[in-house]
Amino acid sequence: MPEHGRGVVELRIPSKAEWVAVARLAIAAVANRLDFSIEEIEDVKLAVAEACTNCIQHATGGDQIEITCETEKSSLTVHVKDYGVGTQPEEIQSRRVSEPREGGLGVFLIRSLMDEVQYDVHPELGTNLVMRKKVSA
């Protein structure tokens, strides 16, 4: 496609497990508007899904997740915002797996798959995650 749209797409889903698939498919469709490879689209999909999953599992009391995608020719920025009683900033960390453990992979995956990741944590207001992926080609 000759022209790639800059544009903003906003999505709001209930903060429940069954709706994460909607966010995943929508973000894949948005990423598909850019020159991302299939692998890069999968990366964005997983990162956004992990962010939503964390909102659902950790943001107590928030009932909606707001996903805002800003597309430019060569990068996609995604904001994932919840309105739940969040965590302390120092809680959010990523770690490499040295021994098998069930939890703690989500933030690690987000940081691995995206080029820039920033958490904006307001323990009383909710968490705002901003992540950016650049088109490699």
Partner 1 sequence: MDIKVNVREAQGDIYVVELTGEIDVYTSPKVKDAITELIDQGHYNLVIDLEKVRYIDSTGLGVLIGGLKRVREHGGTVNLVCTNPQIKKIFDITGLVKIFGIFDDEDAAMKALV
Ligand X SMILES: Nc1ncnc2c1ncn2[C@@H]1O[C@H](COP(=O)(O)OP(=O)(O)O)[C@@H](O)[C@H]1O
Binding site for a copy of itself (CB under 8 A): 1, 3-5, 7-14, 16, 18-19, 21-22, 24-26, 28-30, 32-33
Q: Which of 92, 113, 114, 117 binds ligand X (CB under 6 A)?
A: 92
Q: Which of 7, 25, 23, 26 lies closest to 15 in space, CA to CA?
A: 23
As given in the structure block, the two tokens for residue 96 are: 């490499």
Q: Which of a copy of itself, partner 1, ligand X, none does 78 bind, CB closer than 5 to 8 A by kind?
A: none
The residue from 40, 43, 66, 82 that contacts ligand X (CB under 6 A) is 82
Distance between CA atoms of 30 and 24, rounded to whole angstroms? 10
Q: Are residues 53 and 39 in contact, defined by beta-carbon separation less than 8 angstroms?
A: no
Task: Assign 66 to helix, strand or coil.
Answer: strand
Cβ closest to ligand X, residue 101 vs residue 137: 101
